[in-house]
Amino acid sequence: MLESPADCLCKWVSVKGVSSKGTFEAGFFRSAGTESWFLGIWYKNVAERTYVWVGNREEPLHSSNGTLEVDDDQLVIRDKSKSVWFSTRRESSSSSTTTAVAQLLENGSLVLKDVNNDNPEDFFWQSFDEPTDTILAEMKLVWNYQNRYLTSWRAFDDPRPGNYVFRFETPQYPVLSIWYKAFLLYRSGPWNGYKFIGAPSLFRLEWKDQQISYLSINTTTTSPDYTRVQLDNDGSVRHYTWNQIVKKWDQQWSSSLCTRNAYCRVGSSSLACECIPGFEFGSLNVTTKECVQKKNGTCNGDDHFSLVRKMNLPDSRNAKSNPSITKPEQCGKICLGDCTCTAYSISISLETDNWSCITWSRDLLDLRSYFEEGLDLYVRTAGKKKSKTGLIVGTCVCILVVLPLLALFCYWRRIKKRKRERATTAASSIDNFSQEIGHGGFGYVYKGVLASGEEIAVKKLSQLSKQGLDEFRTEVRSISRLRHLNIVRLYGWSVYKEEKLLIYEYLVNGSLERHLFG
């Protein structure tokens, strides 16, 4: 975190430390990430310390004994007697005839001006001319031979210049871009007259003398108070507005930023990046996760293409166009014939107004995926495309083997379930074998009643009986075939573990033995 120098021994000479309405405050602050001191500007009435400009980013003070002084129409930061930073006088400013003063304006700009002249065109210097990582409502990024741009902090607690740069390029066809060192990470669509395609109507462009263009925040679509656009230390450009109710910064917009050979899904709640086919995230370095190729291509015709749908076209500055090729298959052959080609697509050509083949070489930059629109992008992937024939055949064989086994298993489970149900029904019908009506060497006979109210006789074979399972089955088959008025009918049978039951028709006149032998 960054600390406020409550006990700072800084010396201010002819400087107003707070803007007229108390929106901004300027002073020296100490960075916990470097243990050094910097000249900065921040919001005074925002509880969460938020810096909008830092002066001596490359030459920090190593103690709190630094001073900010006005010396010959220049602002100078001195570390004891040594000058570590000074402002550069604007070429358009007039010469000073009276005392020069430094003043913090209500718009957040620290200016050096003639004490009697408030005309911005005559300021000797202003902090808006040397932006750091933030654009405020009245700040302008100027394109006039030397591009004025934003540079990120090195870390969240280190104001020194980082590796990310945000700027607008090519004044004839302006686009917004984010760079990591020499690599392009983000590129908006071109200016269409009122906004940058692919970005919200947050920025505006102005032309002066048909040569100089200015990029600034569009205050007609956002409130100028407590609003800022910041290039964060992770390389993303974000638009923030202060929420006075909950006392925090609300993020209104963020650039969808992914490294080369990676893409994000525009409109998704997740801002996570995904590698294109054939690539995977490598080791995490200091700044970002890079997508590296899983396997190098052979360039011998064995590579294939993976289709990624609903994509924007990658950065096309180094792409090759083939207007005479209009079919994806033909375009793919052209790409395979070039060892450096990494992807191709079929898109409308602005020159011919017809479909045209476009190929890209080496790394793919500025990739995004859309939910409802976009083009098909064919990415070159190392190795031959795996055939689906083997998979289909294997699946069919598995189905043919597994289904009969599964049917057999289900049938076996069903038979066992029926046996258990029969045993349970018989046991419940005879009141748990409590009403005995006869017995013999085979076992016992019990009286029972079915759920329908019909009386039955249940013959329970004793475990001491010599009748085994085969004899039991023979008895069941024999009796079940007999049909006679004077022979009891067999209703059913049950075998569960060692227990064997026969369910007969119940005869109310008693057993045949009682009638024969009295």
Tens of pLDDT, residues 19-68: 888 899 998 998 888 888 999 999 998 888 999 999 999 989 888 888 88
Closest CA to 64 of 3, 15, 5: 5
User: 308 and 299 in contact (C-beta within 8 Å)?
Assistant: no
460 labeled binding residue: yes
Q: What local confidence, expressed as pLDDT, does residue 4 receive?
A: 37
| CA 243 to chain centroid | 26
Q: Are strands 183-187 and 100-104 parallel, antiparallel or unpaired?
A: unpaired
Query: What is the average pLDDT score of the chain?
Result: 77
Give the three-state DSSP class for 38. Answer: strand
d(CA 88, CA 92): 12
Query: Which percentage of the chain shows pLDDT scores above 70?
Result: 75
SS3 462: coil
Q: Model pTM?
A: 0.54
Rounded-to-integer distance, Cα 417 and Cα 124, Å: 97
- 3-class secondary structure per residue, 105-123: CCCCCEEEEECCCCCHHHC
pLDDT value at residue 162 = 94
pLDDT, tens only, 285-332: 434 567 888 877 667 667 889 998 888 778 776 788 888 888 999 999
d(CA 319, CA 333): 16
422-454 tens-digit pLDDT: 555 555 555 666 677 877 667 788 888 877 778
Token pair for 159 = 């104001």
Q: How far apart are CA 140 and CA 161, in angstroms?
A: 20
Question: 76 or 66: whose pLDDT is higher?
Answer: 76
**Structure token digits, residue 495:** 């075998």
- Contact in structure between 66 and 28 (CB atoms under 8 Å): yes
The residues near 74 (Cβ < 8 Å, ≥ 6 apart) are 86, 87, 89, 112, 124, 125
